[in-house]
Each structure stands twice: as C-alpha cells, then as structure tokens.
C-alpha cells in the first residue's frame, strides 16, 4: 500500500506542478466565470467552485506533503553520507534534523562566528 501511494503521490505532485495543470485550472476557472450568467450567479453556482477547489486542495495537501517528506528524508540521508565520508566534517552533523531547537541555534551561532572570521580575513 505504501509503495502504491508513494508512486501515486509522486506522479500527482509532478503533474500538479506542471504548466498543463495550471492551464487546466485556469480553463476550469474561466468556464466557471463564463457560466455565471447562465446560472444567474446563484449560490449554487458559487458553491460549485468552492466545493470543488476545497476538495482538490484538501487532497493535494496530503499528496504534496508525502512527496516533500520523502524528498527531505532522501536529501538528509545523502548529506549524512557526505558528512560521514569527509574526514574533516563533524560527525555530530549527521541526523541534525532531530536536534533540539537549542542545539540548532548554538550551531547556527558557531557558523555565524565562522562566517564573520572569514569575512574579516577577506576585508
């Protein structure tokens, strides 16, 4: 089941980000606007687009989140492998996404100080 959903979410996410998906959404919107006078701009006419967009948005949130979670995990694993492979790299950087906010902030300050030292040497 996970593999089927992973493939489906990946395909839908790629398609949803394509120009064709945008064009389709734009055409649906144009058709809805053009049909307004036919339905006398009724509440039902408005409810149709609201319901449709809400359902699509609701489902897309889960599909896109699945794809983003998978990509983030893959990137983190690739970075962990690079850190592991480089002798000079600090191994405490591996699995950094699970560090506390305080640990991340302390590390950020270390890099800010390092960046300031490098900038001073250049200037």
Q: Please identify which residue in the block is written with the tokens 């790629």.
A: 14
In this prediction the pTM is 0.65
pLDDT for 34 equals 96
Nearest to 73 by CA among 15, 6, 14, 4: 6
pLDDT in tens, 52-111: 999 999 999 999 999 999 999 999 999 989 988 998 888 888 888 888 999 999 999 998
How many residues belong to the chain? Answer: 123
Cα-based torsion angle of the residue sequence 84, 2, 99, 87 in order, rounded to the nearest 10 degrees? 0
In angstroms, rounded to a whole number, what is the distance separating the alpha carbons of residues 89 and 94?
A: 10
Q: What is the pLDDT of residue 51?
A: 96
């Amino acid at each position: 089941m996970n593999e089927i959903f992973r493939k489906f979410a990946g395909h839908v996410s790629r398609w949803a980000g394509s120009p064709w998906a945008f064009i389709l959404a734009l055409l649906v919107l144009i058709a809805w606007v053009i049909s307004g006078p036919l339905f006398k701009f009724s509440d039902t006419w408005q409810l149709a687009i609201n319901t449709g967009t809400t359902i699509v948005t609701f489902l897309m949130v889960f599909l896109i989140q699945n794809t983003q979670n998978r990509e983030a995990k893959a990137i983190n694993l690739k970075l962990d492998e690079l850190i592991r492979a480089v002798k000079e790299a600090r191994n405490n950087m591996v699995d950094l996404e699970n560090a506390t906010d305080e640990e991340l902030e302390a590390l950020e300050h270390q890099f800010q100080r390092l960046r300031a030292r490098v900038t001073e040497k250049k200037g």
